[in-house]
Structure 1
Amino acid sequence: MPESPTLFGRPGETLRVVVERAIAEFRAGRPVLLQDGENLALALSAELADSELVRRLDTLAAGNGHLVLTPARLRRLGARERVEPGIFALPAIDLDRIAYLAFRLDSRMDAPVAPASALDGAALELARLSLVLPAVLVVPVGAAAVAGESLVAADIAAVNAYRAVQAASLRIVGRAPVPLEGAPDTEFVVFRGGEGLRDQVAIIVGKPDFSAAVPVRLHSACLTGDLFGSLKCDCGDQLRETVQWMAAHEGGVLLYLDQEGRGNGISNKMRAYKLQSQGWDTYDADEVLGFDLDQRHFDFAATMLKQLGVSRVVALTNNPQKIGAIEAAGLEVAASQRVLGRPNAHNVRYLASKRDRAGHLIDMDALMARAAPKD
C-alpha cells in the first residue's frame, strides 16, 4: 500500500527532516532524544558539553549515564584489538572524567569497557554526521522524565539510514560554464545532498565521450591544500594537475566532494594538524581524536556519475578504496591511473604514511625523482 503523504511530505521524507534537525541540535551542543523501540536516551556531544547542562543531566541520569567512544579511541586508550565501540559507566557525570577518557593525549584505560548498544552506535553516527569529535554522553531516560521538554527526537533507524537516503536523493540544482586557467572549456554541475546538508560539485572538463570509459577523479575538498597551497599535503597539486591533464586528453570529470579532512571536517582536521606539528603521524593523530583511517563515503559520488551519464571510468587516483567504491556502486572501472603531487620536506612523511598505512598506490621513488632539480 503506498505511503500517505503528510503536509510536509511522505513519511520517509519526514524522517530525513527529523535527522537533519537532530544534526543541527547536536552541533549546537544541545541533547537529542534517541529512540530504539521503547528505549530512550539523551545523546549529547562530549566536546560541546558545558557544566550547567552536565549538572542537569547528572540529576536526570541517576547514576546511569555513560560515555560512548569509538574503537579508534579505545585502541588509543590501550584496547589495541578493539574493533567495536564501547562505553564507560559514569556513576557521576563529570566533565574532567569525560575529558580524560575522550580527549587527553596521556589517557590510559582505567575502568572496564562495556559493549555499546544499538542506541549508543546511533549516537556515534549522529556525532559523525555533525562533524564534531566522536565521543558522546548518553543518558537513558523514561518518557515521563522528558515529557514537555523541547527536544528533537529521532529514531535510530532513521539516523543510521540517513547517509544512504542522502545519496539516493542527490539532484542537480545548478550548472554553468566556468572557464579555468589551462582548461577554458569547463562546466560546473552542482548537486544538492550526498553528505549531511552540503552541496557537491562535478567539474566536466572538455568534451569527454560518455559512451566510452571516462577519466574520473574523486577529489575530497581540502581548503588548506586546494585554496591556500599548503605544503602539508599534495591535494592542490593533484587537483590542478588532474584538470590540466583532462584538458589535454579529450576531457574528463572531476568530482569535488565536501569531505574535508578524510571526512572528519575542517575543525577536526586542524586538531589533527596540531598533533602532527607535535610529531604525531597523520593516522595516529586521527586515532587520538577517535577517528579510523578514513571516514569518507563514496557511494554518493557514484550516484553523481550515473546522473551525468557515466557508466565506465578510468579512475585517476592512488587510493584503492575509491576504486572499490566505484565498482561496488555498479560502475565499471576500465582502468586506473596514478595522480602524482610534489613531495617536499613538509609532506613526505604524510605521503609515506598514506602508502604504508592506508595502502595508497604511491611510488615514492618516482615522486622524489619528479621533485629532483633538473640539469
Structure 2
Amino acid sequence: DVQCQVRARIPTMEGGEMHLFLYKNNKDTKEHMAIVYGDDIRSSSLDKTWENETIMNRVVRGAYYGRLEEIITDETQYTQLNAKQWARLAQQQAIAKEAWRPVSEAPLVRIHSECFTGETVHSARCDCGEQLDEAMRLMQQAGRGVIVYLRQEGRGIGLLEKLKAYNLQDLGHDTVAANLLLDHPADGRTYDIANDILKDLGLSEVRLLTNNPDKIEQLEAFGDIKVVDRKSMVPQSWSSSPPLSHTPQSTPKKELDRYLAVKVTKMRHMLDLPTSI
C-alpha cells in the first residue's frame, strides 16, 4: 500500500507548473514521488480526512482544491488565521471542491527511476536525464500527465554499486555484463509501487512513455492499470543520422550510443538502431 503524505505546487522555469506528490509505503523506507500535471488528477489517500484535522491542516499537507489564494497580507502575521481569513479560506475550498471533476481520459504517464548521474551531473553514460526532461516537456505541453518517480537508482542496485559497474564498463564490459559481474540482475527494478501510486491517483488507463517492454508487462500483470497506448522515447542523438566522427568531441556520444545499443540488443527495448552504429 502507498499513502500520499504531502502535495505541493511547483512552478517551473519554463513558465508552467506541476504538483509534486510525496509517498510513503509499506514495502520500503524510500520516499517515492509523483510529478503531476493537471488539476483533475488527485490522490485518494491524500484526500482522506485525517483525525481531528482542520482546514489549515489539510492546506499544509496539500489536500486542498483549486489554487490557494494569498490571504496573508501582513507578513508579520505568525499567528493563526483570523475569523475573516478562515471564512475566506473555507469558502474558496468549498467552491473549488464543487467545481472539481475527476480525470476522464488516459493521461500520458512516465514511470521513471531515479538517476543521480544522468539527471544531476549530466552523465553521458545514459539518457535518463534527457528522458525525464522530455516527459516533463510533453506533459506540460499537453496540460496533464504523471511521472511516477521511483527511488530505484542504478536499475535497482543503488548508487554505490552503480559506480562500481561504471568502473567495469571502463574496462570494456557493457551495462548488463557489469551488473552480472557484481552479482546483480541486469535490471532489478520492480513496479508494484508505481502500480499502487497510479491506482491512488485514480488512473486505470494510461498512455505510457517508454521503450521498455518490461515496464508494460510488469504494470499490466498487476491487473489494475491498462496501457492503452505506448509512446516511444527516441533519444535526441538518434532522432536523425548522427555524424560519423572520431574527434574527441564524439567520445561522450560514443558512450551514450553504446549504452543505448545494449538496451536494444540485450534488454528488448523497442527502438530502431541507427545504421551508423
TM-score, structure 1 normalization: 0.51
1:142 maps to none
Aligned pair 1:173/2:67, yes or no?
no
Where 1:346 maps in the other structure, the secondary structure is helix
Where 1:364 maps in the other structure, the secondary structure is coil
Where 1:178 maps in the other structure, the secondary structure is strand
1:317 maps to 210
Q: Deviations over 1:13-44 (max 9, x none)?
A: xxxxxxxxxxxxxxxxxxxxxxxxxxxxxxxx
Distance 1:319 1:261, change over 3 A: same
Counterpart CA distance in 1 for 2:11 and 2:123 is 24
Aligned pair 1:197/2:29, yes or no?
yes
Letter in 1 for 2:111: L
Where 1:192 maps in the other structure, the secondary structure is strand
State, as a whole percentage, how many aligned pairs show the same letter: 35
Where 2:11 maps in the other structure, the secondary structure is coil
Q: 1:230 aligns with which of 103, 119, 123?
A: 123
Counterpart CA distance in 2 for 1:249 and 1:215 is 8
Q: 2:236 aligns with which of 325, 337, 342?
A: 342
Distance 1:326 1:231, change over 3 A: same
Letter in 2 for 1:231: A
1:296 maps to 189
Quote the RMSD (CA, aligned, Å): 1.9
Cα displacement (A) at 1:184 = 1.9
CA contact (8 A) 1:313 1:333 kept: yes
CA contact (8 A) 1:202 1:256 kept: yes
TM-score, structure 2 normalization: 0.68
Letter in 2 for 1:356: T
Q: Deviations over 1:296-332 (max 9, x none)?
A: 1101101001101111100100100111122112211
Cα displacement (A) at 1:208 = 6.0
Counterpart CA distance in 1 for 2:163 and 2:194 is 25
Cα displacement (A) at 1:256 = 0.8
Cα displacement (A) at 1:227 = 1.2
Where 2:186 maps in the other structure, the secondary structure is coil
Q: Deviations over 1:270-312 (max 9, x none)?
A: 0101100111111000010011221111011010011011111
Letter in 2 for 1:252: G
Counterpart CA distance in 1 for 2:27 and 2:167 is 26
Structure number with higher relative contact order (C-alpha < 8 Å, ≥ 6 residues apart): 2
Where 1:189 maps in the other structure, the secondary structure is strand
Counterpart CA distance in 2 for 1:285 and 1:212 is 41
Q: Deviations over 1:178-234 (max 9, x none)?
A: 112336220000001365211101000234672211110000000000111111100
Q: Deviations over 1:26-84 (max 9, x none)?
A: xxxxxxxxxxxxxxxxxxxxxxxxxxxxxxxxxxxxxxxxxxxxxxxxxxxxxxxxxxx
Aligned residues: 200
Unaligned runs of 5+ in 2: 42-102, 238-252
Counterpart CA distance in 2 for 1:348 and 1:183 is 32
Where 2:274 maps in the other structure, the secondary structure is helix
CA contact (8 A) 1:235 1:341 kept: no
Counterpart CA distance in 2 for 1:328 and 1:180 is 35
